[in-house]
Structure 1
Amino acid sequence: MTDLLLNHRVEGSASAPPLLLGPSLGTSYALWDAVAPELSIGHRVVRWDLPGHGGSAADLIGPGASVGDLAGLVLRLADSLGVARFAYAGVSLGGAVGLHLAVHHPDRVASLAVICSSAHFNGAKPWQERAALVRAEGLAGLAEGANSRWFTAGFTVQRLVQDHREADPEAYAACCDALAAFDLRDRLTEISAPTLLIAGREDPATPPVHLREIADAVPGAALLELPGASHLAPVQCPEAVLTALRTHFDGAAPRGMEVRREVLGDTHVDRAQARQTPFTARFQDFISRYAWGEIWTDPTLSRRERSMITLTALVAHGHYDELAMHVRAARRNGLTPEEIGAVLLQTAVYCGVPAANSAFATAQRVLAEEED
């Protein structure tokens, strides 16, 4: 067996908490393309390819391989990167690797997310038959059915189907051998890492009952079922998976999000979160961490004082939509309508009468809505 490492991609700051992402059988680390860049905002993300998949050498494993062998390759990769302890998320076979690591190497796994996977894969026979088929005929025929195994009708990602078609047949068959022998049901209660299970309700390969079985056995585990998702949930429902992983791996909601909700209200924040996309996620993270997590939590000024300063700044720059939101926030922070009016009157002197005129109109509308 070669001494080469698994092919991998590292994203994020080298000083950030490490997070390893494992792939499903037949895919490459492109499986995480819609999720990994956003996770890398707060983590050092390492996503890797299975042997014979993507850029990983095929001879990293051979016939009769086990999930433990794959887990050993992941630990070798982590060691090469100087990563002693890490969070881990994996899909299908990648999820099985995570379960094995959590059971056999609990000192290495800080937290775990298992996505569209199982503690067993319906016995050895179907995987032995698939391994034999691939060794005899290659992967072209099997790749033709990838869409029906991976996605709901009408959805596809050609890059991943092509990865399936181009995987090394011997290495793919060895991964089938690993799935055939895998069964950790009697060891699940030993898992001590905080664990999240994510199931796709439309997943034919590892339906929700498989994830529920793990959730029922692992102490304190949480289970999330995604409607409309099939076997490759990070591809089909990336925003939902991203939100779930962020919440799980970041622990309790950061102080910034708590303060944001206290000042702006749950309705506003929930609406902002619902509109969040991979494109806007980094900006939303920036607002929560820096504006609300550092500035608004600084005890030098009270929230009342910060509200008065914020109202003035918004009037000065003519940001009246934001002003309406912060008039409501000022009321939550204890300012009376009279005090808000006094702040806006002062802006007439220093920001100009036209700006203050628009500000009074905005504030009067908001305060009238509150009275109603």
Structure 2
Amino acid sequence: MNRRRLLHHRVDGPHDAPVLVLGPSLGTSLAVWAPQLPGLARRHRTVRWDLPGHGGSPASLLGPDATVDDLAGLVLDLADSLGAERFAYAGISLGGAIGTHLAARHPERVTSLALICSAARFGTPPAWHERGRLVREKGIAALAASAPDRWFTPAFRQTAAAEALIQDHRSVDPGGYAACCHALAAVDLRDALPRITAPTLIVAGRADRAVPPDRTRELADGIADSTLVVLPRAAHLATVEQPQAVLAALHHHFAGAPEHPGAGEAMRRAVLGDDHVDRAAAATTAFTAPFQDFITHYAWGGIWTRPGLDLRTRSCITLTALVAGGRHEELALHVRAALRNGLTPEEISEVLLQTAVYCGVPAANAAFAVARRVVEG
């Protein structure tokens, strides 16, 4: 019997770690997950893959009348080939819809779910059929020119990271792209949402024009065990535009219970950054090691990983506590962390302004000076 061809994919991380499958959005390749890969691959066996006709996956994997069920079947074939009976899943846009379908139709396979800038339904069927027709007749260049407006905020469109993704877009096979458009035209997963039992993280970009936050909120309303995070200064490809905030949210979601091995270190690195954690580790002595273990296990593994508050809220609380205590060195560290967690400078300013009422004007004045050096420096 001929073996079925698989989606092009790359596997990273420890072979014996829990499997995390990462699905891309339409028009991109597995490179769309590159900013999060180093952090995620520390604690997961990550599996990134390309849609048919995208990256290294042949367009022939998908017929012209494709459905999201066909795409989900390709993902299951890939998971089976890797021996991954159960896996966590994170997907962007169309990749997220595939994950939603998998979690609803194959709940025994999906342990945890993250949906990034995704929806239960996308636009209207006629619009998707028209886009597919346009690509088949005029090629992918007809859409690549407008991709920056759909994918990024104005401030991000001229960056090297944005240009790299546009180059990826230009290399997509028109037939594969059109087949994915056909699948998207028929996507309406609203009735399936109540069947999803996997814990679900939902991330929206506040400036997302392709999937506005109200469409993303529809997922949160329909999935019982879900958490919604809305990122400012992010449009459709939030993994690239707000990479650290997305990584922190994913760590927070996939870390699980506090006793999960490595959950504390993973969260600490996601929020404070690798450089800070590496410096702290290098400076650890036999005398300070118990305290470092305490911080990692209890503060980062026991509190920051709890599901009751999102990371943006935890950053607001932490900033307030540090202002009240006059802990200026820690305050600078956590202003940087707040930015990584998706707070804007304007939101940080609002937090500090409110501390003037409850912590005192001198305390807030000192805090503004510290935060200004971080934000403007």
What is the TM-score when the length of structure 2 is the normalising length? 0.70
Q: Which amino acid aligns with 1:182?
A: V
Amino acid aligned to 2:153: T
Please give the alpha-carbon distance, in whole angstroms, between the structure 2 residues aligned to 1:3 and 1:273: 38
SS of alignment partner, residue 253 of structure 2? helix
User: 5+ residue gaps in structure 2?
Assistant: 299-326, 328-377
Change (3 A) 1:16 1:201: same
**Equivalent residue, structure 2, for 1:318:** none
> What is the alpha-carbon distance in structure 2 between the residues aligned to residue 2 and residue 171 of structure 1?
21
Distance 2:264 2:96 in 1: 35
Counterpart in 1 of 2:89?
Answer: 88
Output the aligned Cα RMSD: 3.1
Helix, strand or coil at the partner of 1:212: helix
Q: Does 1:277 align with 2:277?
A: no
- 8 A contact 1:256–1:293 mirrored in 2: no
Whole-angstrom CA distance in 1 between matches of 2:220 and 2:112: 14
The one-letter code sitting in structure 2 at the alignment partner of 1:189 is P
Question: For 1:266-304, what per-residue CA distance to the aligned partner results, in whole angstroms no more than 9, with x for missing partners?
Answer: xxx99x975x2365567789999995279989xxxxxxx
Structure 1 gap segments, 5+ residues each: 261-268, 298-324, 326-372
> In structure 2, what residue type is equivalent to 1:159?
A
Which residue does 1:51 correspond to in 2? 52
1:151 aligns with 2:152: yes
Quick one: distance in 1 between partners of 2:290 and 2:90?
24
List structure 1 segments (4+ residues) > 2 angstroms apart after TM superposition.
252-260, 276-291, 293-297
- Contact 2:247 2:270 survives alignment (8 Å): no
Q: What CA distance in whole angstroms lies between the structure 2 residues aligned with 1:243 and 1:273? A: 5
The equivalent of 1:97 in structure 2 is 98
Deviation at 1:37, TM superposition (A): 1.5
Cα distance in 1 between the residues matched to 2:92 and 2:179: 18
What is the aligned partner in structure 1 of residue 192 from structure 2?
A: 187
Q: From 149, 166, 170, give the equivalent of 1:161.
A: 166
Quickly say closer, same or farther: Cα 1:107–1:52, change in 2 above 3 A. Answer: same
One-letter identity of the residue aligned with 1:215? A
Distance in 1 of aligned mates of 2:121 and 2:280: 38
Aligned counterparts of 2:234 and 2:16: Cα–Cα separation in 1: 34
1:56 to 1:258, Cα distance in 2 relative to 1, 3 A: closer
- The Cα of 1:4 is off from its aligned counterpart by 1.7
User: 2:224 aligned with 1:219, yes or no?
Assistant: yes
Question: Aligned partners of 1:8, 1:259: CA distance in 2, in Å?
Answer: 29
Q: 1:255 to 1:131 in 2, by over 3 A?
A: closer
Take 2:290 and 2:37, find their aligned partners in 1: how far apart are those partners? 19
Cα deviation code 1:239-287 (max 9, x no counterpart): 0000000110111345799999xxxxxxxx99x975x236556778999
**Aligned in 2, Cα 1:137/1:219: closer, same or farther, shift over 3 Å?**
same
Letter in 2 for 1:277: G
Distance 2:70 2:261 in 1: 42
Q: Output the TM-score relative to the length of structure 1.
A: 0.71
The 8 Å contact of residues 256 and 263 in structure 2, kept in 1 or not, is answered as: no
Q: Counterpart of 1:200? A: 205
Taking a change above 3 Å as real, the CA distance of residues 212 and 273 of structure 1, as seen in their structure-2 partners, is same
Q: CA–CA distance in 2 between the matches of 1:163 and 1:289?
A: 47
Q: If you compute each CA radius of gyration, which structure gives the higher value, 1 or 2?
A: 1
**2:7, 2:115 → 1: CA distance?**
20
For 1:161, give the aligned amino acid: I
1:205 CA displacement: 0.7
SS at match of 2:73: helix
1:5 and 1:73 in contact (8 A); partners too: yes
When the two structures are aligned, how many residues end up with a matched partner?
A: 288
Identity of aligned residues (%): 52
Q: CA deviation at 1:84?
A: 0.5
